[in-house]
Chain A
Amino acid sequence: MAVEQADTGAAVQQYIMHHVTDSHEWSLPFVRLELPGPLTNHAIMLFMGGLILVALFGLFYRRGALVPHGLSNLLEVFVLFIRDQIAIPSLGDADGRKLTPLFCSFFFFILCFNLMGLFPAFSSATGDISVTAALAVVTLGFMIFGGIYKNGLLGFIKCFLPHGVPVPLLFLLGPIEFIGLIVRSAALAIRLFANMLAGHIVIFALLGLVVMFGWVALPAVILTIGIYFLEMFICFLQAYIFTLLSAIFMGQLYHPEH
């Protein structure tokens, strides 16, 4: 009995790892599609999510109506929240309004792909370090090139040298601050990736308990439902946190307060 539990334990672990990592096949309810060439599971998710977002904002949003109803109203609530609570407080009025489309792109992209991971046949593309690293590189690019564009190259370098510090120490502090910039962007990527990955692994592992121990582990299903709701909340929260931290970091470099 212990041996066969250990066996199913290893099989369950393999099942979990196979389902949360990227692979060349897509398991739909009754069929398992083999994906050709460079396409992988997460790539298909990216295409589908992109289509969903473009359809949502392009087709389903009524641009001409003076008073928004229904879905248009919901989208406008989110966009106004991003503009008034995230972009303008961190970047000031002019820059905030100009950069709101970027933050809307971040927020809806991350939200859409996080939520897609909670559907039965899909997986979340943000559970892949490549996708989140790409988003963090976009933020890093905006920080570096935007900072150089706004403050000039010399002003950008002066952001990393704090005031009132003796000159020999500046040679140590400057590179440390610059490395801090890169580490903060990497932290953005890893935070989002690890949250999504860990959430899915926890859900799979709890259901794997039922596979291993039989009907005795049925309360685990109730716990799984609870964690599923927590996952939904974390999807929204992580999208908000990524967007907010991007805005704060960019604001620190565009308008250095020293």
Chain B
Amino acid sequence: MGSITAGLAALGAGLVTIGAGIGIGRLAASAMEGIARQPEATPKIQVNMLIAAALIEGIALFAAVICFMAK
């Protein structure tokens, strides 16, 4: 595992995690704000939050798979 390609693949995976973390963090923040403003809409907000989180995580895992193959 001491090659440059493997090191760069690991670096790439780390960068992907930053992107996914920022995206899902902002998503969670606005979901929390929505629930705080209108607690009776909580189930709808939760369902949509989960769907959006799964989509964003899908993109992150694309890149993770590519990093796996790159090493």
Q: Which residues of A does B touch, CB under 8 Å?
A: 9-10, 13, 187, 190-191, 193-195, 197-198, 237-238, 240-241, 244
Contact for B54 among A10, A193, A238, CB less than 8 A: A238
Which of B21-29, B30-38, B60-68 binds A? B60-68
Judged by a CB distance under 8 angstroms, whether B4 is at the interface is no
Interface of chain A, helix or strand or loop or mixed? helix
Given contacts A10-B1, A13-B1, is CB(A194)–CB(B54) below 8 Å?
no
Enumerate 7 A-B pairs (CB-CB under 8 Å) in ascending A order: A13-B1, A187-B58, A187-B62, A194-B58, A198-B61, A237-B50, A241-B51
Shortest CB distance B3–A (Å): 13
Contact for A237 among B54, B61, B64, CB less than 8 A: B54
The total of chain B residues at the interface (CB under 8 A) is 10
- Please, which residues of chain B bring their CB within 8 A of the CB of A9? 1
- Please, which residues of chain A bring their CB within 8 A of the CB of B1? 9-10, 13
A195 and B57 contacting across the interface, CB-CB below 8 Å:
yes
B64 and A194 contacting across the interface, CB-CB below 8 Å:
yes
Q: Tell me the bound Cα distance from A244 to B51 in angstroms.
A: 9
Q: Tell me the bound Cα distance from A1 to B48 in angstroms.
A: 50
Q: Tell me the bound Cα distance from A238 to B54 in angstroms.
A: 8
The 3 closest A-B pairs by CB, nearest first: A194-B61, A191-B58, A241-B54
Shortest CB distance A252–B (Å): 15
Shortest CB distance B33–A (Å): 23
